[in-house]
C-alpha cells in the first residue's frame, strides 16, 4: 500500500518528535498501553487492565504476559518504565514531556505491573498514552543504536521498518509475528498488507495526480476542492468521517466591547453557520453549536446555543446603546463598531468562512476588516491578546480541549479571569472517573455557551480518498486507518 506524506519525518522515535509525518509512521511501528475507541473512551491494548488509587495520583497498569518487540526481546514492565524514564529525564528534553502532565515517576512490580505516579491527578493521561507519543520502543534497540535509533526504529507494531530513502520515501514491511489485542480490529494476526510505503509528496495537487496515475493507494487528508474530482471517478472511493476532534471557531479578545456579554451574544446571533458550512466548507463539515469538537467524549449535541437571528442581534445591540452612524456602522460613545478579524488561514475554507462572517456582521452594522495570517504569525497575537476577533481551527482528541482554549491561564488565547468556569475546568482536568468527568465536560460546555465566550462554527470532516481495490478501510476513534484490517481486491 502506497500513501503520501506532505512532509518528511524528522525522526522515528516517539519520545523525540511531535512531527505529524513521523506520527503517521510511528502509529504503525509502535503499540501503546491503551487505545481510544469510537466513543472517545480508553480501551486495553498492551495493558490488559489498570487500577486507579483513591487519590487518583497512582495508576497501576497490568501488561499482557509474554509480549515481544519486533527484535524478539521482552516487552515487559521494565521496558515500559525505560520508555517513560526517557521522557521524564530533564536532560533528554523530550518534546513530548508536556503530554504526560504531572507524571513524576514510573515504577515496576514484577514482570507485568507498571505504576505511574503523579504529583496531581491528570485526567488526560489515557488519551495521551494512546497517541503516537505513547509508543513503546525496544530498550535493546535503543542501547544498540543510541542517537541513531530514530533511523533504525524497533517497536512491537504490525509493521517493521525497512528503508528510509531521504527525500523520497519510507518503507515498512509487515511483522510476521504480530498479534494485536485491540477489540476494534477484526484481523488480530499478521497484517494482510505485505508492505506500506510512505511517499514524500508535498503538494496536494501532486498527490491527487499520483492517485490518478495509480502511484498512490490513499490520499489523506483530501482537500475539499479535490472531493468532486475523486467522487466523479469510478476508480476511487471516498471515506468521510463526520465526527471530528477539530473545531473551527470565532474567538473574541477580552478588550471592550468584547468584554460585554450582550455584545458577544449579539455577534453570536449574527453568524449564519448553515451558510458557512454550505459555502465556506462546501458542505464537508458539521455545524457545531458546542465549544467542543463533535467527535470527543462528552460532546453535548443538544445545545441550542445562539441560532442565526440577525433581528435579535440588532435588538440586543440597540438596547445596549449602539446606534448606526452616517456610514451605516454602529457607534457607541463616539466609538465605531469597526474591528479587525484575524483569519488564521491554513486553508481556503477558513478564508471563505471569514468572508461570510464579515458579510453577516455587516448586516447588523458591524464593520470588519479581515487580516489573513499564517497560523505561526497569528498564534503570538492570540496569546498576547493583540486582536479583536479571530477565526482559527484547533484540534485535540481529549475533553481537555476545553481547558486548552477556555481557561483563564490558557497559553493559546489571553483571557480575562473567570473563576466559575476555571473551577469547573479544573474538575475536567483532574477527574479520572470517566462518568463523573464527562458530566463536568457537559456542564462546562453549557457554561461556555451561556457566557458566549466564543462562537463555535463547525467541525470539519475527515476526508480520505482510496483506490477502489483497497478494502476494509475503517478508521479508529482517533480517525486513524486500521491498517491491519486492510486488504486488496484483485
- 5-38: per-residue pLDDT in tens? 999 999 999 999 999 999 999 999 999 999 999 9
Do 324 and 400 lie in one domain? The reply is yes
- CA 130 to the chain's CA centroid: 12
Do 152 and 301 lie in one domain? The reply is no
Do 233 and 260 lie in one domain? The reply is no
What spatial distance separates the first Cα and last Cα of the chain, rounded to whole Å?
A: 14
Do 198 and 301 lie in one domain? The reply is no
Alpha-carbon Rg of the chain, whole angstroms?
Answer: 24
Do 204 and 318 lie in one domain? The reply is no
State pTM to two decimals.
Answer: 0.93
Do 366 and 414 lie in one domain? The reply is yes
Do 427 and 470 lie in one domain? The reply is no
Do 193 and 178 lie in one domain? The reply is yes
Q: Which stretches of the chain score pLDDT less than 50?
A: none
CA distances from 247 to 50, 91, 292, 350 (A): 31, 36, 7, 12
Do 393 and 268 lie in one domain? The reply is yes
pLDDT (0 to 100) of residue 346: 67
Domains of the chain: total: 2
Residue 51: give the domain boundaries: 2-240+464-488
Domain containing residue 100: CATH number: 3.40.190.10
Tens digit of pLDDT for each residue in 66-122? 999 999 999 999 999 999 999 999 999 999 999 999 999 999 999 999 999 999 999
Do 274 and 371 lie in one domain? The reply is yes
| Residue 104, C-alpha cell as written in the block | 513524576
Do 289 and 398 lie in one domain? The reply is yes
Do 221 and 258 lie in one domain? The reply is no
Domain containing residue 340: CATH number: 3.10.105.10
Amino acid at each position: 500500500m502506497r500513501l503520501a506524506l506532505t512532509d518528511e519525518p524528522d525522526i522515528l522515535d516517539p519520545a523525540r518528535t511531535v512531527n505529524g509525518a513521523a506520527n503517521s509512521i510511528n502509529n504503525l511501528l509502535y503499540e501503546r498501553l491503551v487505545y481510544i475507541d469510537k466513543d472517545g473512551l480508553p480501551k486495553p491494548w498492551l495493558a490488559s487492565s489498570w487500577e486507579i488509587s483513591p487519590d487518583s495520583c497512582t495508576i497501576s497498569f497490568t501488561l499482557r504476559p509474554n509480549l515481544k518487540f519486533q527484535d524478539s526481546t521482552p516487552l515487559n514492565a521494565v521496558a515500559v518504565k525505560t520508555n517513560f524514564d526517557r521522557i521524564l529525564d530533564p536532560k533528554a528534553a523530550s518534546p513530548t514531556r508536556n503530554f504526560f502532565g504531572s507524571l513524576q515517576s514510573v515504577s515496576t512490580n514484577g514482570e507485568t505491573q507498571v505504576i505511574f505516579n503523579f504529583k496531581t491527578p491528570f485526567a488526560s493521561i489515557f488519551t495521551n498514552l494512546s497517541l503516537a507519543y505513547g509508543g513503546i520502543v525496544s530498550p535493546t534497540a535503543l542501547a544498540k543504536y543510541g542517537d541513531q535509533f530514530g533511523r533504525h526504529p524497533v517497536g512491537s507494531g504490525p509493521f517493521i521498518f525497512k528503508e528510509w530513502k531521504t527525500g523520497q520515501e519510507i518503507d515498512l514491511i509487515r511483522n510476521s509475528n504480530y498479534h494485536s489485542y485491540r477489540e476494534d480490529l477484526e484481523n488480530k494476526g499478521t497484517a494482510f498488507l505485505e508492505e506500506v510505503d510512505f511517499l514524500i509528496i508535498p503538494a496536494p495537487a501532486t498527490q491527487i495526480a499520483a492517485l490518478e496515475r495509480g502511484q498512490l493507494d490513499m490520499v489523506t487528508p483530501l482537500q475539499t476542492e479535490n472531493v468532486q474530482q475523486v467522487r466523479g471517478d469510478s476508480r476511487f472511493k471516498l471515506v468521510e468521517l463526520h465526527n471530528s476532534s477539530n473545531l473551527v471557531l470565532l474567538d473574541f479578545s477580552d478588550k471592550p466591547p468584547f468584554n460585554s456579554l450582550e455584545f458577544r451574544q449579539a455577534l453570536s446571533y449574527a453568524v449564519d453557520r448553515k451558510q458557512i458550512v454550505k459555502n465556506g466548507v462546501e458542505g464537508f463539515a458539521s455545524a457545531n453549536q458546542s465549544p467542543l469538537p463533535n467527535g470527543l467524549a462528552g460532546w453535548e449535541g443538544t445545545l441550542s446555543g445562539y441560532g442565526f437571528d440577525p433581528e435579535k442581534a440588532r435588538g440586543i445591540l440597540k438596547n445596549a446603546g449602539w446606534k448606526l452612524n452616517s456610514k451605516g456602522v454602529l457607534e457607541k460613545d463616539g466609538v465605531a463598531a469597526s474591528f479587525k478579524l484575524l483569519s488564521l488561514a491554513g486553508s481556503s475554507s477558513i478564508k471563505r468562512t471569514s468572508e461570510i462572517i464579515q458579510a453577516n456582521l455587516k448586516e447588523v452594522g458591524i464593520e470588519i476588516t479581515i487580516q489573513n495570517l499564517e497560523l505561526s504569525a497569528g498564534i503570538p497575537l492570540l496569546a498576547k491578546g493583540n486582536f479583536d476577533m479571530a477565526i482559527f481551527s484547533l484540534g485535540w482528541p481529549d475533553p481537555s480541549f476545553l481547558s486548552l482554549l477556555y481557561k483563564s491561564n490558557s497559553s493559546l488565547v489571553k483571557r480575562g479571569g473567570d473563576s466559575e468556569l476555571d473551577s469547573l475546568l479544573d474538575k475536567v482536568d483532574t477527574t479520572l472517573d470517566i462518568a463523573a468527568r464527562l458530566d463536568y465536560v457537559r456542564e462546562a460546555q453549557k457554561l461556555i455557551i451561556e457566557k458566549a465566550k466564543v462562537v463555535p462554527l463547525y467541525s470539519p470532516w475527515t476526508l480520505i480518498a482510496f483506490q477502489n481495490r483497497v478494502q476494509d478501510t475503517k478508521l479508529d476513534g482517533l480517525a486513524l486507518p486500521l491498517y491491519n484490517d486492510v486488504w486488496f481486491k484483485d
